[in-house]
């Protein structure tokens, strides 16, 4: 397998069902030799993903695109047919846009822009208290709505994308255990049971990711990994179906509270359906088996009275008890086995966060595993997964606890205030990471605009120089697992000395950026990204002409008439598809220039660099006075310093 994996001390216990010490290294090697010589030898891969829900499929889809050898196992016979999660938040929609997968979901989903509040008491009949805009203009997003799409539709999208690249989910295959040889960089042995005959299957992998739900067996296999939290006593029913009703707000997200009977959260769905989350108030003391579909439907009618509620058909019914739990660790001590999605955190479904947060766990770890499998990652890169995503999980369950209680309490004012306070987080753009190896905050703090290390790159409109197309700059470069490095300046001609010095320093044999690019180019030549038929239209090679690791972008406010591609240094001529003119503020969500939105301000002679991680988060921001001697060289050294925090040149060829 690939080098670059952290060496593991013999005395430390590794995850899994079998613990070996250095004294057993020879027997471990013998065991691997024996396994590979069996009539049905083990499957070998670089990442084994357990669970083919939204988190597992998002991870597999990205790893497959990056060219990582991935295996996905799932104990189910097929994908999710009905029910379960159904809401995509604005940040998730943006992620699908960056993956070029959003269009089918946007065509089929239902968009919800507002929230309505209704209430009845013993003294007042059911009446509307008011409405709120779901995502007010203070939230700077391209898609200011929740998109309601069935979880199975999301899974289908990923499964089809995987099939295009020759990757299939191994169905009816249940994870059983895993083991590893201590003191050895050898593979993990993942043991699975397949089909009703419980045939034993073995997978040898460099990394293991458990996306196998709230009762995760992978989590139980990682030493000392356990869910911490509590369950609330309230019980809720869920109904998906097509309604016949005279209730007026059925196509808004609506909270209905009855002082006598409890609460309903109404969510419009695709295919003319509606989802009801129904509180089963004062019913938990009885036999829960009595709380069946008919009981829940009757409770819904009681809460909605005097409005009529009938179902043309019910597609799915379920019950759940609210619980907020977060695993105390998201990875094993040696960063070889990881947890994502419900395996690492659980909460109520009513804020439409579960599927979104789970997929962004996968979005976060996918590009990091790609670099680790290629031997390009220092240990700090994989260690940042738990640092970043466990923080988000804790933020989520704290919000969810308050949100779920206020829905049950029916206090529309308190709920609206809670929503306003947390609306950035709910939308996804408020999921912010702290300072770590990949989020570098400068001591002198160059941050004056909306672009900040550890935060998502804000949306901005620019004109692509080459074809004069207006584009969303944060989405224009496809997600290929590479970093984006944007240089912003008012005048390219005025900054030419800076650019020449910058490019010369990057091309130097002493440049870490140059060395990393060379190593990445060798790695991708040996194990390329997996192609898809639509690549003939998307042309991903436009964005890897300079490097498979870095895509450079140049943003200037100059008029197109005053500059030609040939005026640019060679590096930026080769990056011509990412040369942008910052000249269409009227198309921006805030009516701002990209330069001003991202940076707050930029002096006439200043050059700014914004490093953007593969997942769309800002990694670092720097500024230089282009009139100062050697400023370009200093900027190149600054890039070396940033990337040296978490990337390395492999000591030997990787990607076996």
Give domain limits for the chain. 43-228+323-427, 455-645
Distance in angstroms (rounded) separating the CA atoms of residues 511 and 460 = 31
What's the average model confidence in pLDDT over 276-292? 69
User: What gap in Å lies between CA 118 and CA 254, rounded to an integer?
Assistant: 8
Average pLDDT value for residue range 309-332: 90
Which of 134-138, 193-197, 479-483 is most confident?
479-483
DSSP for 61-106, please give it: HHHHHHT--EEEE-SSSSS--S-S--EE-HHHHHHHHHTT-HHHHH
User: If you average pLDDT over residues 612-639, what whole number do you get?
Assistant: 96
Q: What is the pLDDT of residues 411-427, one digit of tens each?
A: 667 777 777 788 888 89
Range 563-571 average pLDDT: 97
Residue 195 predicted with pLDDT over 90: no
Q: What is the pLDDT of residue 3?
A: 32
User: In this predicted structure, what is the pLDDT of residue 15?
Assistant: 35
Q: What is the pLDDT of residue 339?
A: 97
Among the ranges given (67-76, 192-201, 204-213), the one the predictor scored with the smallest mean pLDDT: 192-201
The answer on pLDDT for 9 being more than 50 is no
List the structure tokens of 37: 């010589």
Domain at 455-645: CATH code: 3.40.30.20
Using the CB atoms, write b or e for 528-552: b if 16+ within 10 Å.
ebbebeeeeeeebebbbbbbbbbbb
Burial class (CB in 10 A: 0-12, 13-18, 19+), 395: middle
How far, in Å, CA of 11 to CA of 43, rounded?
A: 29
Kindly indicate the confidence band of residue 182, based on its pLDDT and cuts at 50, 70 and 90: low
Instruction: Output the pLDDT for position 442.
Output: 79
Distance CA 499, CA 626 (A): 9
Q: What is the pLDDT of residue 88?
A: 94
The answer, yes or no, to whether residue 301 has pLDDT greater than 80, is yes
Distance, CA of 451 to CA of 599 (rounded, Å): 6
What is the C-alpha separation between 239 and 253, in angstroms, rounded? 15
Write the DSSP symbol of residue 382.
Answer: H
Which pLDDT does position 280 carry in this prediction?
83
Residue-wise pLDDT for 250-273, tens only, equals: 999 999 999 899 889 999 999 999
Sheet of 199-205, strands arranged across: 18-20, 173-181, 188-194, 199-205, 43-44
- Residue 57 CA to residue 204 CA, distance in Å, equals 20
pLDDT given at position 21: 34
As a whole-number percent, the residues of the chain with pLDDT over 70 amount to 89
Cβ(459)–Cβ(140) below 8 Å = yes
Percent of the chain residues past pLDDT 90, beyond the cut: 73
Measured between alpha carbons, how far is 396 from 625 in angstroms, rounded to an integer?
41
Q: What band does 440 get if pLDDT is binned at 50, 70 and 90?
A: very high
In this structure, what DSSP letter does residue 518 have? H
- Determine whether 98 is exposed, middle or buried from the number of CB atoms within 10 Å of its CB (0-12, 13-18, 19+): buried
Q: Residue 277 pLDDT more than 70?
A: yes
The CATH number of the structural domain formed by 43-228+323-427 is 3.50.50.60
Q: What mean pLDDT is reported for the chain?
A: 89
User: Is pLDDT at 591 greater than 50 in this prediction?
Assistant: yes
d(CA 491, CA 496): 9
- Band the pLDDT of 501: cuts 50, 70, 90: very high
CB within 8 A of 370, min separation 6: which ones?
A: 62, 63, 66, 67, 68, 481
Confidence of residue 33 (pLDDT cuts 50, 70, 90): low
Backbone angles phi, psi at 194, to 5 degrees: -110, 140
What is the average per-residue pLDDT within 163-180? 94
How does residue 282 score in pLDDT terms, banded at 50, 70 and 90? low
Distance between CA atoms of 325 and 214, rounded to whole angstroms? Answer: 9
The CA-based angle 423-426-428, given to 5 degrees, is 115
Least confident of 137-141, 172-176, 194-198, 407-411: 407-411
* pLDDT of 19 strictly over 70: no
Output the pLDDT for position 351.
66
Assess whether pLDDT exceeds 60 at residue 285: no
- Residue-wise pLDDT tens digits, 356-373: 999 999 999 999 999 999
Paired tokens of 192: 């699975």
For 99, list phi and psi in degrees, rounded to 5. -85, -5
Asked if 70 and 63 touch (Cβ cutoff 8 Å), the reply is yes
Of 72, 301, 308, which is closest to residue 190 (Cα–Cα)? 72
- Is the pLDDT at 645 greater than 60? The verdict is yes
Least confident among 205-214, 442-451, 517-526: 442-451
Give the pLDDT score at 10.
29
Letter string b/e over residues 504-516, b meaning 16 or more CB atoms within 10 A of that residue's CB: ebbeeeebbbbbb
């Amino acid at each position: 397998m690939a080098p670059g994996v952290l060496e593991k001390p013999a005395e430390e216990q590794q995850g899994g069902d079998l613990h070996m010490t250095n004294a057993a290294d020879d027997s471990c090697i013998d065991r691997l030799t024996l396994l590979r010589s069996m009539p049905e030898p083990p499957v070998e891969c670089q990442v084994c993903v357990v669970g083919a829900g939204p988190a597992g499929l998002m991870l597999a889809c990205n790893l497959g695109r990056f060219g990582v050898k991935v295996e996905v196992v799932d104990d189910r016979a097929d994908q999710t047919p009905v029910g379960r999660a159904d809401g995509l938040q604005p940040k998730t929609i943006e992620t699908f846009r960056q993956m070029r997968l959003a269009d089918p979901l946007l065509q089929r989903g239902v968009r919800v822009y507002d929230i309505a509040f209704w209430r009845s008491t013993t003294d007042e009949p059911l009446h509307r208290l008011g409405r709120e805009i779901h995502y007010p203009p203070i939230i700077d997003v391209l898609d200011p709505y929740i998109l309601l799409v069935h979880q199975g539709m999301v899974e289908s999208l990923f499964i089809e994308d995987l099939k295009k690249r020759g990757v299939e989910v191994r169905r009816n295959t249940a994870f059983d255990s895993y083991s590893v040889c201590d003191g050895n960089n050898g593979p993990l042995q993942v043991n699975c049971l397949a089909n009703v005959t419980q045939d034993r299957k073995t997978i040898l992998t460099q990394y293991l990711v458990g996306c196998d739900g709230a009762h995760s067996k992978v989590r139980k296999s990682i030493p000392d990994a356990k869910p911490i939290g509590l369950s609330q006593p309230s019980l809720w029913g869920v109904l998906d179906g097509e309604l016949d009703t005279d209730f007026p707000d059925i196509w808004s997200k609506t909270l209905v509270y009855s002082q006598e009977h409890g609460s309903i959260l109404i969510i419009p769905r695709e295919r003319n359906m509606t989802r009801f989350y129904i509180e089963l108030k004062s019913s938990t003391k009885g036999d829960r088996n009595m709380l069946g579909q008919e009981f829940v439907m009757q409770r819904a009618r009681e809460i909605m009275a005097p409005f009529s509620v009938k179902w043309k058909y019910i597609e799915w019914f379920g019950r759940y008890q609210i619980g907020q739990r977060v695993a105390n660790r998201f990875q094993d001590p040696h960063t070889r086995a990881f947890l994502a999605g419900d395996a690492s955190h659980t909460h109520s479904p009513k804020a439409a966060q579960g599927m979104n947060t789970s997929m962004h766990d996968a979005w976060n770890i996918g590009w990091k595993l790609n670099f680790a499998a290629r031997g390009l990652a220092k240990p700090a890169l994989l260690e940042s997964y738990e640092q970043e995503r466990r923080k988000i999980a804790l933020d989520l369950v704290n919000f969810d606890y308050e949100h779920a209680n206020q829905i049950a309490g029916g206090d529309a004012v308190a709920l609206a205030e809670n929503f306003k306070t947390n609306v950035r987080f709910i939308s996804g753009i408020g999921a912010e990471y702290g300072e770590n190896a990949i989020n570098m905050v400068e001591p002198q703090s160059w941050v004056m605009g909306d672009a900040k290390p550890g935060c998502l790159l804000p949306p901005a409109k620019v004109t692509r120089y080459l074809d004069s197309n207006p584009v969303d700059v944060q989405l224009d470069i496809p997600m290929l697992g590479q970093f984006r490095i944007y240089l912003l300046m008012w005048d390219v001609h005025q900054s030419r000395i800076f650019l020449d010095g910058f490019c010369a320093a990057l091309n130097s044999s002493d440049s870490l950026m140059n060395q990393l690019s060379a190593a990445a180019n060798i790695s991708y030549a040996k194990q390329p990204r997996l192609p898809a038929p639509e690549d003939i239209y998307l042309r991903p090679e436009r964005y890897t002409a300079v490097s498979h690791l870095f895509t450079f972008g140049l943003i200037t406010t100059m008029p197109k008439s005053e500059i030609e591609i040939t005026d640019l240094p060679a590096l930026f001529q080769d990056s011509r598809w990412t040369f942008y003119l910052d000249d269409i503020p009227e198309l921006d969500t805030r009516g701002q220039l990209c330069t001003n939105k991202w940076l707050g301000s930029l002096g006439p002679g200043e050059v700014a660099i914004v490093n953007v991680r593969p997942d769309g988060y800002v990694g670092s921001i720097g500024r230089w006075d282009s009139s100062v001697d050697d400023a370009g060289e200093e900027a190149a050294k600054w890039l070396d310093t940033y990337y040296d925090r978490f990337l390395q040149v492999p000591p030997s060829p990787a990607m076996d």
